Amino acid sequence: MNAPADLTQAFASQADRTLGYRQFTLGSFGFRRDEYFAHISWTTRDGRPLSHTMDVGNFLCALMRDVAWGFFYGGVNFDDVLGTVNHYKSVDLQAGAFNGTMKEAGVDLLENFPTDEIREVFEAMLDDWTNEGFDPFAAPQETGSPYGRKNGHNKAAITRARELATRCVGLKGDLALRTDERGAPVNRQFADVPQDAPELHPEPGFEGEVHAFNLFAFLSRSQVTWNPSFTSVVKHSYMCPTTEEHILPIMHSNDRVEWFFQMSDSIDWDCADKNTGKPLARVIMKAGDMAAMPAYCRHQGYSPKRSMLLVWENGSPKLVYEIQNGDAPQVPVSF
């Protein structure tokens, strides 16, 4: 269902006369930006006004992921305080609900919204607050500044289509391979990645069934960071490789087990309890390492150089409920 075109009008203010940005409200939450910061405000469960401040660049990078991924699997935490939880038909917006200290102090708030409503407000905020020259998907060294007064927009960058293969990248009629001509040159940090393609010799009649492509070459041409694309799909098994540089702009709270295969370079991960934020583990991943993130954790990665990571997701729509009922495990293996 599409929301009415003017839905955001109800949630957005006029542009500020000095800085040029609009303010947004969603339920009991308010959002305002100035030259450096995003300010989030809400009224606590016991009626007290509270606010939270984030660097606006970090806020926009997190908001970009939440919007582009349709609120993702489970929780998307913008930082230790603010975040969303996807219920697949509706979405919770929360402040402090998964922060042990704030929860204990009773200053947290969680409200549920129809997915269309929160998406509409988030998309409008992302558009209004992203200035010309700043691309929230780009590595910090490959984009301009998010700061300052309102200066144009970057609609092309914030409305990129998510790259989702139906069966496999490069198959006839499926997601195309990346090339210079399609606006996907090799990234500066992957100049040494061979660009050859595997030879294919299918038996007659199997030309549309037998397939292979050079995944490293495909990834070397990614224009964005921390943005898994579907390169192959078999039932609910989604291979979602991505190229990473600098910090994953969100802390992801799993609602299922998720696998990581570090295909080049290295990423360090901070893992914490998804309900309280209490630190659980540091996972140091070097090229060739694999790890599984349990359903009870949240995690954030640090990639000092542009690296290639394969994220493997079980996209079954039933899995989250099977885990909640205890019918499926929270961990990939019990020893």
Interface residue list for Fe ion (CB under 5 A)? 252, 258
| 150 is an interface residue for ligand PHB by CB under 6 A | no
Outline where DSSP puts E strands in the chain: 24-26, 29-33, 37-43, 49-55, 75-77, 82-86, 90-95, 109-114, 232-234, 237-247, 251-253, 258-262, 266-273, 279-286, 290-293, 297-314
Beginning with the edge strand found earlier in the chain, give each strand of the sheet holding 24-26 in spatial order.
Answer: 24-26, 29-33, 37-43, 49-55
- Contact track, ligand PHB, 27-66, x by CB under 6 A: ----------------------------------------
Asked if 226 touches ligand PHB (CB under 6 A), the answer is yes
* Binding partner of residue 168 among Fe ion, ligand PHB, none, CB cut-off 5 to 8 Å per kind: none
The nearer residue to ligand PHB, 36 or 88, going by C-beta atoms, is 88
271 binds ligand PHB (CB under 6 A): no
Kindly write down the DSSP assignment for every residue of 39-97, as one continuous string: EEEEE-TTS-EEEEEEEHHHHHHHHHHHHHTTT-SSEEESSSSEEEEE-SSEEEEEEST
Lookup: tokens for 214: 């050079």
Beta carbon of residue 40, minimum distance to Fe ion (angstroms, whole number): 23
Cβ-based neighbour number of residue 289 at 10 Å: 14
CA distance 212 to 155: 34
Region of 78-86, 96-104, 151-159, 225-233 interacting with ligand PHB (CB under 6 A): 225-233
Half-sphere exposure of residue 124, counting CA atoms within 13 Å on the CB side?
A: 26
Sorted by sequence, the CB contacts under 8 Å of residue 302 that are 6+ apart come out as 246, 247, 248, 267, 268, 269, 270
Q: Should residue 241 be labelled a site residue for ligand PHB when binding is judged by CB under 6 A?
A: no
When the beta carbons of 42 and 269 are compared against ligand PHB, the nearer one is 269
Please identify which residue in 111, 311, 312, 330 interacts with ligand PHB, judged by CB under 6 A: 311
| Residue 228 binds ligand PHB, judged by CB under 6 A | yes
Query: Does 248 engage in binding with ligand PHB (CB under 6 A)?
Result: yes
d(CA 215, CA 295): 28
Nearer to Fe ion by C-beta: 77 or 130? Answer: 77
CB of 137 to ligand PHB, least distance (A): 10
- How many residues in the shown chain lie near ligand PHB by CB under 6 A? 10
Is residue 280 part of the contact set for ligand PHB (CB under 6 A)?
A: no
Q: Is 242 in the site for ligand PHB (CB under 6 A)?
A: yes
* Residue 167 CB-half CA count within 13 A: 11
DSSP type of residue 232? E
CB of 312 vs Fe ion, minimal distance in Å: 11
For residue 248, the partner it binds in ligand PHB, Fe ion, none, with Cβ less than 5 to 8 A by kind, is ligand PHB
Nearer to ligand PHB, 99 or 242 (CB): 242
Binding site for ligand PHB (CB under 6 A): 226-228, 242, 244, 248, 252, 258, 309, 311
